[in-house]
Structure 1
Amino acid sequence: MKPVQAIAYLRTSSAANVGGDSDQRQRAAVDSYASRAGFEVVKEFYDAAVSGADPIDQRDGFTSLLAWATETNVTTIIVENASRFARDLIVQEVGYASLKAQGFTLIAADDPDAFTADTPTARMVRQILGAVSEFEKANLVAKLKGARDRKSAAAGKRIEGRKGYDDTNPDVVREAKRLARKNPKTGKTRSLREIAAELARLGHVTRAGKPFSASQVSRLLAY
């Protein structure tokens, strides 16, 4: 069976560790796991002297990784351990959720279930993040309603916001979420682009008649 292509991500938090053996140790751990688990590491990205508390979208190495992965459609990322990805638990959960929504699989070489384990701490963090997300969404809805109310008063007639696909086409939302589920046999998930292609094959396209983009699929999954 052909190995699954993967990306290695390395990080050192201290400038004092740059040039030491930290990156060599991480690389060896990732390569060892990859060879055992049937992966082929085809690219490596390294954030040197970057804190594990920094959000992933503020790291030059990781943003370069995501750009390269998007172009090549390599969606598996392997790190030495969970703390190499992020030491801060909130950053870790937010980063993992963001990657998952984009169709990426994140694996820790020392514990492949580290990011998917259903521990009490992880559940608490996810619940807190969910509550914050719900508050932000409700706050945005209130702001948009206030803006529509002001426009309606000025225009002398009711102006409504554009309805989303969850209102206009709930079938496409339902189908996108079905396609995003993990395959029960292989344990793999489709990338956002793969979901978009399958939606188009099934006849689900945008209002303009074009296939959904990866970012649009991500929004469909967020409904």
Structure 2
Amino acid sequence: MGRLTDAIKHLLIINVLFFIATLLYGDQMYQWFSLWFPENENFRWWQVGTHMFMHGNFMHILFNMYALWAFGSPLERIWGRNKFLFFYFSAGLGAALIHTGANYFFFEQGLEAILGTGISKEQVLEIISGGQYSPEWYKVASQSTIDSFLSAYNSPAVGASGAVYGVLVAFAFMYPQAELMLIFLPIPIKAKYFVPLIILGDLIFGFTRVNTGIAHFAHIGGALIGFIMMWYWKKNQFDKNRWDK
């Protein structure tokens, strides 16, 4: 991939610094900088951006940073630093918004079922804010509905994956014939097929509500925003020079 480009280098450094701080301060970092559900008392407006620099464990940051370097470096060389950073953060912010929108849907769906038992919203929030729930809730809605409701409120999102998915989509646009491989399927697959394949996996897991511990709708959001931006730029021929002035 050649030398480390400027934007990629600084993104790697910031992510590593956040990860080291997380190892040192643990829960406090997650409370301040992860992306919490807006109705959760831990939510702060800056988390829409800071969650992109937070990671859950070593393998999480390793895979994200490797993908950022591998697929982002060629893009930055073509686009330049400013255009790449604009694209990267746009995809990351889009991922946060779509992830939050999906969480609102799951939260409201579960809340509506629970309110049917006669309990008030304030009482429900008081219960779940303490990390608790009522077994009775599973009698008025399916397990997946209640589990998704609780997860939406209590599980913060962390990681650069949403922004990285946008980068993957851009890479597939720019290098559609490049051959890539999945870890569990060591067969070369062209980027124009590889990227839609992994997005399809997120769509399946996201809409079937399989509990994987992964923010699938953040991945979908980053990919969607990346696709829209690439489509728009290709249509309007936004070139590197316009971003370097």
Q: TM-score, normalised by structure 1?
A: 0.25
Q: Looking at secondary structure, tell me which structure has more helix per residue.
A: 2
Which structure has the larger Rg over C-alpha atoms? 1
Q: TM-score, normalised by structure 2?
A: 0.23
